[in-house]
Amino acid sequence: MFDNVWLIPLFPFIGFLINGLLGKKIKNETVIGGIGALAVLCSFLVSCKTILALLSLPGEERVANVKVFTWITSGSFNADIAFLIDPLSCVMIMIVTGVGFLIHVYSIGYMHGEEGFYRFFSYLNLFMFSMLLLVLGNNLLLMFVGWEGVGLCSYLLIGYYFHKKSAGDAGKKAFVMNRVGDFGFLLGTFTLYWYMGQAHNVWTIKFTDLAANSHLLPTGGIVTAITLCFFLGATGKSAQIPLYTWLPDAMEGPTPVSALIHAATMVTAGVYMIGRMNYLFIRSPETLMVVAVVGGCTALFAATIGTAQNDIKRVLAYSTVSQLGYMFLAMGTGAFAAGIFHLMTHAFFKACLFLGSGAVIHSMHHALHHVHSHDDAQDMRNMGGLRSKMPLTFLTFLLATIAIAGIPGFSGFFSKDEILWQAFSNPHHGDLNYLLWGMGALAAGLTAFYMFRLVFMTFFGECRITPKAKDHLHESPMVIVIPLIVLAALSVVGGYIGLPKVIGELFGGIPNYFEHYLEPVFKYSEEYMAQHAAHAAEHSATLEWGLMGLSVLVALVGITIAFTMYVKNTELPKRFVATFPALHRAVYNKWYIDELYDYLFVNPCKALGRFLWKGFDVVVVDGVVNGVANVVMAFSGVFRYMQSGYIYNYAWSMAFGVVVILGYYVFK
């Protein structure tokens, strides 16, 4: 019944080929953009059909492997091109193709008139293809193909404006940091394959086989090593500490790219991967702790940086890093469904925010361009008061902001609150839970602060560009606005399929549909937990309500501070900067992490390379080689006098020889 799932990645691939090979000749933007969007729409429709087919099956039968052909066979190793259909991959393809389609449509408007329009759409389709391989791949290696493929597309799209050095640098940085993660992914794959094989004679990298045999694995030990390797991979792809620094730089790419790749889909691949291999991670308490702590720290750390950035996209980038931190926090507390749930709601509201910021930048850019101003169209200090000029953009942006800030009733509230509750109440981390919850709650407050700071600086107050330029500000065309509206609507209502238990009970026992739907995927972990983990302390519903109230309160405080500083009393930020110059400088400069990495890794590597080349290759090895050659030359320089060709020289040597031989016999 899933026989045609291979169509899902195939459509975007065809789109990629058409636009990539013929796009330059087609020229017509509507046709190119149409092909790109249509390809994704087709995938989306097949995805819908697939998930409906899946839902028609009883819970325990909702898993299928669909093989296309054998890819690599060598000895006991086997990897197929084959797809895995289960609730988790289905929810992912729905997000990827659904949000992806909206962003494709938006791009037709946004990229209008750009040089290399066809190139953009072919890359975007290639990205969709790779991402779908990643989530549909039924084995580690095929997932890795998608994993690297999305990295490549990210590289190509970040470097889309390749004539800018900063864009090229950012693309390279993204690729290399991702490769550091890939190194971990590969090692994890090797170790898992090798261990399962030599210890239990299970030679496989297929997810369903691994899951079915996961009971053979021990707790901790080798599993900790394997999962930590995979987690390193996740930190690269999903921009977690210590490999997060590429994501803010990735904002060099066009804004739809930031929305699609660097917010809604690719960067969540790490979360998906942990969800896919939850049965491994649950078996290592140590790794779970590392995941939770890294997630919590990233959530908080990135949020602090977000408070001091002035580039509208950079604020959103740090926000993305921070929100991804939440997802890892969830994964690290064993709340896999909650993590995936936040992945989904985040895809809605963050895509909406990025696209909204894109609309703002687009409008600002045109306005500034008209008056030949070279002011930065992305700098919020140049914006202000856009509310009246772009009402629809403002409204959708505001809704998404409320969602991310965690105001009750909006999608972000449900997913974030579920994560915070799990951080507090999970049975894995003992007293660390309080810290995890604290970091999460504090980050929630900061999130509310910097997001409303962004809204206030952009849409409220006085417009800070010249009045002449101001007249050219305008609302975006429908092709841009409609995706915004759809995403904003999803940001509002998307959370209701996953109501937290206490809220569901309040409304007459509405179940958490989302968690229930994902149950078959996480059943191995559930079984393991039932046998092994210490039982969770019983927490009363009152406590849950109390914590929920507290997190809402923290968010409201954040919003209030933002309102005070950026609407009521706009002198406050300057006073704050004047009072704490060092702190502001550190935050503004992202805590100097980039500089630290340059100092620790980049520069030493280059210096070492130079030393090995000029020092070792040229001096030592070639020194020996040329030295030997010179010695030989020197000897032959001496010996060649023996064959000078002059008779008298030979006569002399003969005479000398005779004397020596005679002398020897005489004096013996």
Q: Segment near other proteins (CB under 8 A), from 172-180, 416-424, 518-526, 541-549?
A: 172-180
Which residue, among 108, 132, 117, has the nearest Cα to 265 in the 3D structure?
A: 132
Of 3, 25, 58, 201, which one interacts with other proteins (CB under 8 A)?
201
Cβ closest to other proteins, residue 168 vs residue 220: 168
> Residue 106 or 279: which CB sits closer to other proteins?
279
Cα–Cα distances (Å) from 667 to 657, 659, 660, 663, 664, in that order, read 15, 12, 11, 6, 6
The answer to whether residue 374 forms part of the interface with other proteins (CB under 8 A) is no
Binding mask 590-609 for other proteins (x = CB under 8 A): ---------------xx-xx
Nearest-10 crossing angle of helices 391-405, 336-370 = 150
Residue 14 contacts other proteins per CB under 8 A: no
- Closer to other proteins at the Cβ: 595 or 622? 622
Tell me the two tokens of residue 624.
């020996």
CB of 227 to other proteins, least distance (A): 16
Question: Exposed/middle/buried for 453, CB within 10 Å: 0-12, 13-18, 19+?
Answer: buried
Indicate whether 213 belongs to the interface with other proteins (CB under 8 A).
Answer: yes
Question: Is the CB of 549 or the CB of 604 nearer to other proteins?
Answer: 604
The answer to whether the beta carbons of residues 283 and 426 sit under 8 Å apart is: no
In the complex with other proteins, which residue's Cβ is closer, 198 or 644? Answer: 198
* CB closer to other proteins, 171 vs 558: 171
- Is 250 one of the binding residues for other proteins (CB under 8 A)? no
Nearest distance, CB of residue 46 and other proteins, angstroms: 22
Distance CA 52, CA 476 (A): 35
Q: Please tell me whether residue 203 binds other proteins under the rule CB under 8 A.
A: yes
Site map 379..398 versus other proteins, x via CB under 8 A: --------------------
Q: Binding marks (x or -) toward other proteins, 323..362, rule CB under 8 A?
A: ----------------------------------------
Interface residue with other proteins among 3, 60, 74, 540 (CB under 8 A) is 74
- Shortest CB 75 distance to other proteins, Å: 3
* Minimal distance, residue 618 CB to other proteins, in Å: 8
The yes or no reply on residue 52 touching other proteins (CB under 8 A) is: no
Among 17, 180, 550, 567, binds other proteins (CB under 8 A): 180
Count CB atoms within 10 A of the CB of residue 560: 14
- For residue 553, how many other CB atoms are within 10 A of its CB? 12
Choose one: 73-81, 103-111, 406-414, 586-594; the region binding other proteins (CB under 8 A): 73-81
**In the numeric block, which tokens belong to residue 474?**
């305008």
DSSP single-letter state for residue 4 = T
Q: Which residue in this structure is represented by tokens 């895995």?
A: 84
Identify the CA nearest to 356 among candidates 302, 305, 319.
319
6 binds other proteins (CB under 8 A): no
Smallest CA-to-CA distance from 515 within 257, 335, 348 is with 335
- 629 belongs to the binding site for other proteins (CB under 8 A): yes
648 binds other proteins (CB under 8 A): no
Cα 142 to Cα 68: distance, rounded to the nearest angstrom: 12
Contact region for other proteins (CB under 8 A) — 175-183, 300-308, 376-384, 419-427?
175-183
Q: Which residue's entry shows tokens 């101003």?
A: 373
Nearer to other proteins (CB atom), residue 56 or residue 198: 198
Q: Is 621 in the site for other proteins (CB under 8 A)?
A: yes
Touching other proteins, residues 280-319 (CB under 8 A)? none
Among 72, 478, 596, 658, binds other proteins (CB under 8 A): 72
Residues 75-94 that bind other proteins (CB under 8 A): 75-78
Work out whether 613 is an interface residue with other proteins (CB under 8 A): yes
List 66's β-bridge partners, or say none.
83
Cβ neighbours of residue 66 under 8 Å, at least 6 residues apart? 2, 3, 5, 6, 82, 83, 84, 85, 138
181 close to 237: Cβ distance less than 8 angstroms: yes
Note whether 167 binds other proteins by CB under 8 A: yes
Q: Which is nearer to other proteins, 39 or 174 (CB)?
A: 174
Interface residue with other proteins among 583, 600, 612, 655 (CB under 8 A) is 612
Task: Count interface residues toward other proteins (CB under 8 A).
Answer: 65
Q: How far is the CB of 165 from other proteins (least distance, A)?
A: 5
By the rule CB under 8 A, 563 interacts with other proteins: no
Establish if 524 lies at the interface with other proteins (CB under 8 A): no
Single residue of 30, 59, 194, 600 touching other proteins by CB under 8 A: 194
Burial 394-417 (b: 16+ CB within 10 A, else e): bbbbbbbbbbbbbbeebbbbbbbb
Cβ(53)–Cβ(3) under 8 Å? no
- Cα separation, 459 vs 240, in Å, equals 30
| Pairing status of strand 77-85 against strand 64-74 | antiparallel
Rule CB under 8 A: say whether 165 interacts with other proteins: yes
Q: Hey, which residues between 123 and 162 contact other proteins (CB under 8 A)?
A: 141, 144-145, 147-149, 152, 155, 159, 162
The set of residues, in sequence order, having a beta carbon less than 8 Å from that of 363 and lying 6+ positions away, is: 386, 389, 390, 393, 473, 474, 475, 476
Instruction: Tell me the window of 183-191, 268-276, 365-373, 658-666 that interacts with other proteins (CB under 8 A).
Output: 183-191
Residue 216 or 534 having the CB closest to other proteins: 216
Selected range binding other proteins among 66-74, 269-277, 410-418, 570-578, rule: CB under 8 A: 66-74
What x/- string results for residues 16 through 35 when contact with other proteins is judged by CB under 8 A? --------x-----------
Which DSSP string corresponds to 284-311? -HHHHHHHHHHHHHHHHHHHHHHTT--B
What distance in Å separates the CA atoms of residue 538 and residue 95, rounded to the nearest whole number?
35
Nearer to other proteins, 135 or 383 (CB): 135
CA-CA-CA-CA torsion sign (206, 208, 214, 216): negative
430: CB partners within 8 A, 6+ apart? none
> Residue 440: is it exposed, middle or buried by C-beta count within 10 angstroms (0-12/13-18/19+)?
buried
Distance CA 528, CA 216 (A): 12
User: Nearest Cα to 351, choosing from 167, 12, 102?
Assistant: 102
C-alpha dihedral (504, 505, 506, 511), degrees to nearest 10: 20
Residue ranges that bind other proteins, judged by CB under 8 A: 24, 69-78, 141, 144-145, 147-149, 152, 155, 159, 162-165, 167-169, 171-172, 175-176, 179-180, 182-183, 186-187, 190-191, 193-194, 197-198, 201-204, 206, 209, 212-213, 605-606, 608-610, 612-613, 616-617, 620-622, 625, 629
